[in-house]
Amino acid sequence: MTAVLPCFWVYKAVGDYILQNQIVQNNPYQTWIDTYGGHEFAQSVQQAIRICDRVAEAEPSRIKVIMLEAFVTASRLEYDFWDGAYKLRQW
């Protein structure tokens, strides 16, 4: 659960940024923007955050540490994904 949460969270942040700064007319990415930018997806992300928080609160400390490590690792991978796209990294 905590390993996929950064994906939701980052897509929301990127979607909102693009939504606020988009070229509206004939935008080939409009479907993506409509999916990840705006209120509806925000509600899903907030629900996912609340669920993770609620589950974490009920877990012992050792599991919380594992959950946090998964979240941090996934966040770093999300950063690397977006950074690679921004820099046009070739594989």
Nearest to 9 by CA among 39, 35, 40, 36: 36
What is the mean pLDDT of the segment spanning 31-40? 90
Given a cut of 90, whether residue 25 has pLDDT beyond it is: no
Catalytic (active site) residue 7: yes
Residue keyed to tokens 């070229």: 23
Is the predicted pLDDT of residue 24 greater than 90, yes or no? no
Mean pLDDT confidence for 49-58: 96
DSSP classification of residue 33: H
Q: What whole-number distance in Å separates Cα of residue 48 and Cα of residue 45?
A: 5
So what's the pLDDT on residue 87?
A: 97
Of all residues in the chain, the percent with pLDDT exceeding 70 is 100
Catalytic residue among 7, 40, 57, 59: 7
Catalytic residue among 40, 52, 57, 78: 78
The predicted structure's pLDDT at residue 22 = 86
Give domain limits for the chain.
5-22+29-86
Contact present, 9 and 50 (Cβ < 8 Å):
no
pTM: 0.82
